[in-house]
């Protein structure tokens, strides 16, 4: 809006100037009085454009960007007023007016007004001196002894022409006259000890301790960059009503000036998503069951279930909502469970875990994407560099081998992983792997899923970084939902175990989601599933059996 007004002012000034030039070239066609007032209008309009431009350069560019300070409204007023005073003097000179009489009259008028408004003008001049010396800035925490010996401590919110606004730790704002601050001792307090509060509201029927715990974990488990975790993050119930309860989340920002416009909204958003996952926040219309049913029916090991069983699977599962760039881990995922992407996108770091003794490297998954299929050609110079590095360990054969493997992989990360097995010496192999670039990111889109072995066997999710790329909805399929579906169709755990074993051998062998060989050799997948899912079947048959 400000940019639009500035452009409008420039355009308006240009039009006035054009009209004045045209009319001044033909003075006989207009009245002299009209030409005189048009000249005044042009001078005033040009002055406004110049003052706005100079103010922008001084305030927004020099002070804000170069000096890294937050100028107050008072400083902006002072700069603009000073510039307008200069422009007034110049305009009077151009119009041929006597400036001495003007300033003499102005000085007399100022003296009269100053005597009548001694205290307000004192505050105004004190505010000017505060802006010149800048003992503190907006966002700083100060302590000042105000009237009647009262000590005021808080964060500077703004500096106006009459007073400095200080937000107390209780959240209230105190207006301290600038004249008082100029006379009294002002104590600066370390910025890291300044906290902010973020308000949010939930239903009055939800236990407060549960709300406060969820909100705190939403911030602590994946803190935003501007939150100082060296200080406590806590939530307090602030006001109580019959229908809703208001809470305040307290935190300490690293950069106070960025907190209001950036950190506070991000915290509110994060808390909303955290409460929605536990059904404690506002109602949200999740994806319809028919759409979920279609996605579940496309999963290989659920295709043999009847439609009624698949519907039971969906109804006993839970949809989880996540904010963009939110970390998915055991704190906010239902575990044990399998996680199906319903909407949005999940980014999984495709980090390899090398077993240097057996020369094996494991990606996270092979199902959504096949990393052995090259989606683009690697740069010849990069491939040649890798071949040169490999040649130090296996000799000239490294060049032909590297170029052959480069045709089958999609990134340098996989190229290093595929070639490392050619080096027999474990120490040399590890040295070669250290030159590997960062792991690629695998995208899980709608219909993709992960955590299969976590659902059926209780195996923990691999320790890789899993984040959401955008606002994302995930269907968490739990063992209880699987038990309901299998019980409805009369399918035994052993039969389902055969499906999962076949699926495991086809898709998860050689990945980070592979079942450990110690478990496979000892009991097998079916036996482990029997042990893991049996309690859920017992609870289904006898709800009182814990």
**Residue 355: its pLDDT value, please?**
52
**Residue 256: its pLDDT value, please?**
72
The mean pLDDT value of the chain amounts to: 77
What does the pLDDT average to over 235-260? 84
Number of residues in the chain:
546
**Confidence grade of residue 372 (pLDDT, cut at 50, 70, 90):** very low
Contact (CB, 8 A) for 228 and 252: yes
pTM above 0.85, yes or no: no
Positive or negative torsion for Cα 125, 129, 132, 135: negative
The CATH architecture one would assign to domain 137-188 is Roll (2.30)
**Confidence grade of residue 481 (pLDDT, cut at 50, 70, 90):** very high
Tokens for 130, please give them.
């505060």
The CATH architecture one would assign to domain 196-277 is 2-Layer Sandwich (3.30)
Q: Please report, for the chain, the start and end positions of each structural domain, with discontinuous segments joined by +.
A: 1-97, 137-188, 196-277, 371-443
On the question of pLDDT at 223 being above 50, the answer is: yes
* CB-based contacts of 401, cutoff 8 Å, min separation 6: 387, 390, 394, 419, 422
Structure-model confidence comparison of residues 351 and 514, the more confident one: 514
Helix and strand totals (H; E) in the chain: 20, 17
**Residue 109: its pLDDT value, please?**
52
242-266 burial string, b = 16+ CB within 10 Å, else e? eeebebbbbbbbbebbebeeebbeb
CA-CA distances (angstroms) from residue 224 to 92, 209, 219? 56, 23, 7
What does the pLDDT average to over 342-353? 80
Please calculate the CA angle 283-289-291 and round it to the nearest 5 degrees.
115
Least confident of 113-122, 330-339, 360-369, 438-447: 113-122
Closest CA to 496 of 292, 294, 304: 304
Q: Which residue has the tokens 């400036």?
A: 99
Q: In 3-state terms, the chain is what percent helix, strand and coil (to 5)? A: 50, 15, 30
For helices 307-315 and 289-297, angle between their N-to-C axes, nearest 10 degrees:
120
CA-CA distances (angstroms) from residue 3 to 7, 9, 10, 52, 311? 6, 10, 11, 11, 55
What does the pLDDT average to over 519-526? 72
The Cα 373–Cα 512 span in angstroms is 19
On the question of pLDDT at 126 being above 50, the answer is: yes
Same fold: 137-188 with 196-277: no
**Residue 115: its pLDDT value, please?**
46
Least confident of 54-68, 337-351, 434-448: 54-68
Beta strands in 178-325 (DSSP E): 186-189, 196-203, 234-240, 244-251, 318-322
On the question of pLDDT at 110 being above 80, the answer is: no
Closest CA to 87 of 51, 59, 53, 57: 51
pLDDT in tens, 147-191: 666 777 788 877 776 778 888 766 678 777 777 777 776 776 665
Closest CA to 442 of 415, 473, 465, 425: 465
């Amino acid at each position: 809006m400000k940019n639009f007004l500035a452009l409008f002012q420039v355009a308006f000034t240009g039009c006035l100037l054009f009209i004045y030039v045209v009319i001044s070239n033909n003075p006989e066609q207009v009245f002299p009085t009209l030409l005189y007032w048009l000249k005044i209008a042009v001078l005033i309009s040009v002055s406004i454009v110049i003052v706005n431009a100079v103010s922008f350069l001084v305030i927004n560019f020099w002070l804000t960007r170069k000096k890294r300070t937050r100028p107050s409204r008072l400083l902006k007023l002072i700069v603009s007023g000073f510039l307008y005073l200069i422009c007034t003097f110049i305009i009077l000179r151009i119009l041929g007016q006597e400036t001495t009489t003007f300033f003499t009259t102005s000085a007399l008028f100022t003296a009269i007004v100053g005597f009548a408004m001694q205290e307000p003008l004192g505050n105004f001049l004190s505010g000017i001196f505060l802006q010149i010396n800048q003992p503190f800035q907006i966002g700083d925490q100060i302590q000042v002894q105000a009237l009647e010996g009262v000590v005021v401590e808080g964060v500077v919110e703004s500096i106006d022409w009459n007073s400095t606004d200080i937000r107390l730790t209780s959240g209230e704002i105190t207006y301290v006259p600038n004249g008082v601050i100029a006379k009294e001792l002002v104590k600066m307090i370390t910025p890291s000890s300044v906290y902010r509060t973020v308000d949010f509201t939930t239903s009055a029927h939800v236990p407060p301790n549960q709300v406060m715990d969820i909100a705190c974990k939403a911030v602590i488990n994946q803190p935003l960059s501007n939150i100082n975790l060296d200080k406590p993050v806590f939530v307090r119930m602030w006001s109580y009503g019959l229908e809703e309860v208001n809470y305040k989340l307290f935190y300490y920002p690293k950069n106070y000036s960025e907190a209001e416009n950036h950190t506070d909204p991000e915290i509110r958003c994060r808390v909303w998503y955290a409460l929605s996952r536990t059904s404690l926040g506002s109602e949200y219309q999740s994806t319809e069951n028919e759409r979920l049913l279609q996605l579940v029916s496309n999963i290989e090991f659920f295709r043999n279930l009847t439609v009624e069983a698949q519907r039971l699977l969906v109804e006993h599962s839970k949809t989880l909502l996540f904010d963009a760039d939110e970390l998915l881990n055991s704190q906010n995922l239902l575990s044990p469970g399998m996680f199906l992407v319903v909407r949005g996108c999940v980014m999984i770091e495709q980090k390899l875990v090398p077993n240097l003794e057996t020369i094996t490297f494991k990606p996270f998954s092979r199902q959504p994407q096949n990393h052995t299929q090259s989606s683009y050609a690697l740069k010849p110079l990069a491939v040649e560099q890798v071949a040169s590095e490999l040649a130090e360990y296996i000799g000239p054969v490294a060049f032909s081998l590297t170029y052959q493997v480069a045709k089958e992989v999609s990134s340098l990360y996989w190229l290093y992983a595929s070639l490392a097995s050619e080096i027999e010496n474990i120490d040399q192999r590890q040295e070669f792997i250290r030159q590997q670039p960062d792991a690629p990111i695998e995208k899980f889109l709608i219909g993709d899923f992960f955590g299969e072995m976590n659902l059926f066997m209780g195996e923990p999710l691999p320790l890789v970084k899993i984040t959401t790329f955008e606002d994302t909805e995930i269907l968490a399929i739990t063992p209880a939902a699987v038990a309901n579906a299998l019980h409805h169709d009369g399918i035994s755990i052993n039969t389902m175990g055969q499906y999962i074993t076949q699926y495991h051998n086809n898709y998860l062998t050689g990945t980070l989601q592979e079942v450990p060989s110690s478990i496979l050799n000892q009991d097998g997948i079916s036996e482990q599933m029997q042990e893991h899912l049996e309690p859920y079947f017992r609870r289904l048959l006898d709800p009182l059996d814990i």
